[in-house]
Amino acid sequence: MTIERSSSVDLPSMDILRSITHQPTVNTKMSELSVNKPSEIKSKKSDEQIHATQEMSRIITDPTTGKCYCRGKVLGKGGFAKCYEFTDLATGKVYAAKIIPHTRVSKPHQREKIDREIELHRVLHHRHIVHFYHHFEDKDNIYILLEYCSRRSLAHILKARKVLTEPEVRYFLRQIVSGLRYLHELEILHRDLKLGNFFINDSMELKVGDFGLAAKLEPVENRRRTICGTPNYLSPEVLNKQGHGCESDIWALGCVMYTMLLGRPPFETTNLKETYRCIREARYSLPSSLTSQAKQLISRMLAKSPVDRPSLDDILRHDFVTQGFTPDKLSASCCHTAPDLHHTSPAKSFFKKAAAALFGGGKKDKAKYLETLNRMAKEEEELTRLRNDLRRTSISQPCSRQTTDDCSKPPVAPVSARPPALSKEAVANNRQQLRDTVRLIVRGTLGSCSTSSECLEDGTMGSVADAVTKVLRGCLENMPEANDLPKENMGCSFQWVTKWVDYSNKYGFGYQLSDHIVGVLFNNGTHMSLLADKKTVHYYAELGQCSVFSTGDAPEPFVGQVTVLKYFAHYMEENLMDGGDLPNVMDTRKPRLYLLQWLKSDRALMMLFNDGTFQVNFYHDHTKLILCSRSEEYLLTYINEERVSTTLRLSTLLASGCSVELRSRIKYALNMLLQRCS
């Protein structure tokens, strides 16, 4: 249900307050009432008022922003805090809120621990890491607002299921490794990996959470030697006070894998002292019910010496992960019952051809892959899932609208600070130099190629991105402050993305341009375009090698990709609407525009094209930025919440400035571009 933004969030409605503070009726004996004195009755009313006041604390106000939240059910408990369901009363958005009473962190080292957790977690942005949204405090508590995971945790799933199947373990293991690799690349140790800290969202995606014990990786001589974590998952070197390294997280991951497959931790005993003895000796059993590949991977991760344990990449390359079937997605029913992952049915042309072509290799490889594919769900279920996935990712899908202030919050990579104030003459010179630079970049870097293949070959992803970065950074640093957009609105036609679909978990990223050309950037790095005539295909391999053929006469290796391309085109045509009021320009000539790279953050989608066109779509308010080059100058188009577009020359922005609203979006777009390879 779409919830419109409220004009005021200072006070919740009286209906909400009444429903929250409503108390159940308490039956009282008539004899007790008949002997009560007036003073006693007054005392009873006072108690009821106090109780009602305590219930009113379910409405919590952020003193810094004035936003009101409703505290719901308890989601979990920890050493310092409880986690509650938290609902923003203005937007209806649900969070998981970690609430820490000030009384529990009254000592300096306790408060430092909470502050350290906040500072570490707030900068993390990854698909498989619980997202940090906001934190604030009032006179009673500290509140940390986190991503809400409706399926709770792997611990809850295992409690209901007792054990998981190998395909499920591979599914979750891949996602844990993805999140953990992100942390280790940032030199962050989690130090408390366990099933209860792996949270599952509504789409059955895993998110690593709870960074209360996380710490930065130190050199060997300075590593932390305190024993912390959950007893069953502690590594020998931690117990022996030899310090924490990435290898300690690998050990805990081995314990997690063992627990998922067998329903109990590997070193669990009747008393803690014996458990620690088994850990120090790396002594555990591997039941015959485990496959040989599972035994091998577990034994490597639970090696007594840290140097003998595999890296995260080694885990992903292990036969247990690569040779067994891994589902693309799990049903929510897996939370309480084992999935049916071996149902066979006749696979028809679409998925057979697509799978065979995308997999590649010889006839034996294709037959093996198709055999695996046939063990998955019925084709009808596959098609339904594909349609549902595409529908969820479309830009035209309604969503709860949030304040546009979110768009001003940049990702991790910072924009360089504004330079010191300059004289008017210096500022004018800087702006003129930037205008000249813009023209040189357009003419020299992006305008020197005569064909699409030459553009990709000469203007590589790095050079195109660097050119756009230079222009945007220069614009932000030299543009004067202003309250409104300049009056100029250029009447210029150019190609831009009107529709898009992210199905990269299986095939790739698809989009439709304003001239009705449909493109797909496949997961293997190749690109395919279907021209507006719906018959001609342009296939781009590495280094801009372009092949042209018709849809009805596609070479055998490309049949599957052409099928996927046609399906994406049909879906976007039938189900998605255009994203703004710019005219759709028809052009049946050879396409010059195709996608080099795309990136999604929690707030926006970035798309970078071979000719320097750079587009950013903001999810929550559906605003868009499009930067493109025409006639040796860059143009910036802004499509606002009402889907009305304004096209400006960058030279005009440098002279006149722009609104805070547009500046914040340009800043966010630049930061997405800066972190495209992170």
- Report d(CA 654, CA 646) in Å as an integer: 16
Contacts of 477 (CB under 8 A, 6+ apart): 416, 418, 419
Structural tokens at position 178:
């993805």
Contacts of 132 (CB under 8 A, 6+ apart): 118, 121, 122, 124, 144, 145, 146, 147
DSSP per residue over 477-507, as a string? HHPPB-SS--S---------EEEEEEETTTT
Containing H/E element for 188? strand 188-189
Q: Are 116 and 108 in contact (CB under 8 A)?
A: no
Q: Are 64 and 9 in contact (CB under 8 A)?
A: no
- Report d(CA 354, CA 507) in Å as an integer: 9
Q: Are 329 and 205 in contact (CB under 8 A)?
A: no
Containing H/E element for 18? helix 14-21
Q: How would you classify the pairing of strands 536-540 and 546-550?
A: antiparallel
Structural tokens at position 414:
């910072």
The active-site residue out of 88, 192, 210, 389 is: 192
**Hey, is 282 helix, strand or coil?**
coil
Q: Does 98 carry a binding-site annotation?
A: yes
Of the candidates 515, 511, 506, 514, the residue with the CA atom closest to the CA atom of residue 527: 511
466 counts as catalytic: no
**Please, what sign has the CA dihedral across residues 565, 567, 571, 573?**
positive
Query: Is the backbone of residue 391 left (phi > 0), alpha (psi -120 to 50) or beta?
Result: alpha
Of the candidates 526, 527, 500, the residue with the CA atom closest to the CA atom of residue 514: 500
**Hey, is 470 helix, strand or coil?**
helix
Q: How would you classify the pairing of strands 536-540 and 188-189?
A: unpaired
Structural tokens at position 470:
């230079």
Query: Is the backbone of residue 66 left (phi > 0), alpha (psi -120 to 50) or beta?
Result: left
Q: Which residues are catalytic?
A: 192
Could you list the residues known to form a binding site for ATP, using ranges: 98
